[in-house]
Structure 1
Amino acid sequence: MPEPSRLTPVAVMILATLREGDMHTYELVRLLKERRDDRLVPLQKGTIYHTVARLERDGLLAEVGVDRDGNRPERTTYTIREAGHRAVEEWVRAELPQIDRPSDFRVALSEAHNLDRAEVVDLLDARRALLLDSLDEHRAGLANAAERETPEQFLVELQRQSALLDAELAWQDSLRARLADRSLAWGIAEIPEHIKKKHRVSKETTP
């Protein structure tokens, strides 16, 4: 199985979607775009088809049938393999605590529900420590600049990043609290059945 870090965000999103049920590539493309997952990464049809083929070669998903509807081209249906399940979890586990790859973090966060609640809390705690270190560094830089009477016009980017880090910490602390006190439903098992049907969620993917 490929190293989790070598999986692209698109590959992770494809595998995570297949955790919900078997489907053909056309349905994958439609569902990912319907859910506006292209907010996170570019989702070109050709890239998705190429990635599905690579994931099959790597043993992370497998063909389970070929359908033909009238004169339409044949459509191959895929299922995720056990190695694919592990790959999603390991990639999210590796990327969720990071602060230096914002785009990958967004994908990891969107797929964090594939991990157990307690593990997500621990990973967010590890990320919080990195955020605090970065915030301290930015604040020290601003203080040093003030001592040197650096014109504020040269510091606006530093000020912005400090403000963003403050907001990120506040948001993450709120999320962690809701996970810890269980006020936030987490995992497929905690989603009401009528909501699962509405969003086409069909498999138990979280312990």
Structure 2
Amino acid sequence: MKDPIDTLTPMGVMVLALLREGDMHPYEMVRLLRTRQDDRLLTITNGTLYHTVARLQKTGLIDEIGIDRDGNRPERTTYTLTDAGRDTVIAWVRRELPRTDSETDFRIALAEAHNLERDDVTALLRERRSALIESHVAHRDGLRAAHERGTPAQVLVEIERQEALLEAEVRWLDTLLTRLDSDGLRWGPNDFDDTDRYIAQRKAAQQ
């Protein structure tokens, strides 16, 4: 039997992370994701989200806790996060945060990294930094060798771009790690700077 983490999609991660905030129905999930502009990370459609919710329930990561029949609105099923779901989303973020082979998965892991404790995130990002530096050195040295061989510059532009992106990400990561090492950046699942705004978002999405 497959480990749930191996079948978890990026959309599934976002749904599980939402349910860490509290029980909610899929309609509220869609509205929150769009309000928070998480659709810049991946395409969010009602059909995809509802399908994801069904899969998560089937694998025991979430559970149905009730159906809302308020007024003339369509029935809305409310879901809660199970212990297995809570463990799985954290395990997925931990697995993907240091990896460098999937930009989409890393961006979602980074967006959900606030669900981990500061020390955990710092250690994982330092692991990622080491991998990025290794890749940057390989690209830089490869470019130098290619130029020395007289390789036409026009066939090297993609490698030049990747080398520049790797260098820029290391600089950005160093800045983030410095902030995490200080007291200036509040961090952790229960330490948001603007909790009132998130509460207001939840209330608006429930309508």
Aligned to 2:108: 107
Aligned to 2:5: 4
SS at match of 2:66: strand
Give me the whole-angstrom Cα distance separating, in 2, the residues matched to 1:191 and 1:114.
Answer: 11
Give me the whole-angstrom Cα distance separating, in 2, the residues matched to 1:72 and 1:196.
Answer: 29
Aligned to 1:159: 160
Aligned to 1:31: 32
Give me the whole-angstrom Cα distance separating, in 1, the residues matched to 2:66 and 2:58.
Answer: 16
Give me the whole-angstrom Cα distance separating, in 1, the residues matched to 2:9 and 2:43.
Answer: 12
SS at match of 1:162: helix
**Is 1:198 equivalent to 2:197 in the alignment?**
yes
SS at match of 2:64: strand
* One-letter amino acid of the structure 2 residue matched with residue 151 of structure 1: P
**Is 1:130 equivalent to 2:127 in the alignment?**
no
Give me the whole-angstrom Cα distance separating, in 2, the residues matched to 1:100 and 1:188.
Answer: 26
**Is 1:178 equivalent to 2:171 in the alignment?**
no
Query: Any conservation in 2 of the 1:65–1:77 contact (CA below 8 Å)?
Result: yes
Count of residues in Structure 1 that have an aligned counterpart in Structure 2: 200
Q: CA deviation at 1:68?
A: 1.0
Which stretch shows the higher mean deviation, 1-10 or 63-72?
A: 1-10
Give me the whole-angstrom Cα distance separating, in 1, the residues matched to 2:189 and 2:61.
Answer: 21
Give me the whole-angstrom Cα distance separating, in 2, the residues matched to 1:45 and 1:73.
Answer: 14
CA RMSD of aligned residues (A): 1.5
Residues 137-148 of structure 1: pairs in structure 2 closer than 5 A: 137-148=138-149
Query: How has the CA–CA distance of structure 1 residues 137 and 163 changed in structure 2, closer, same or farther, with 3 Å as cutoff?
Result: same
Q: CA deviation at 1:182?
A: 2.8
Aligned to 1:79: 80
Q: CA deviation at 1:69?
A: 2.1
Q: TM-score, normalised by structure 2?
A: 0.92
Aligned to 1:51: 52
* One-letter amino acid of the structure 1 residue matched with residue 46 of structure 2: K
* One-letter amino acid of the structure 1 residue matched with residue 71 of structure 2: G
Give me the whole-angstrom Cα distance separating, in 2, the residues matched to 1:113 and 1:121.
Answer: 11
Shift >6 Å, 4+ stretches: none
Q: TM-score, normalised by structure 1?
A: 0.92
SS at match of 1:78: strand
Deviations 1:144-182 (A, max 9, x none): 111112222221111111110010000011111111123
Unaligned 5+ runs, structure 1:
203-207
SS at match of 2:190: helix
Deviations 1:39-63 (A, max 9, x none): 1111111010011111111111111
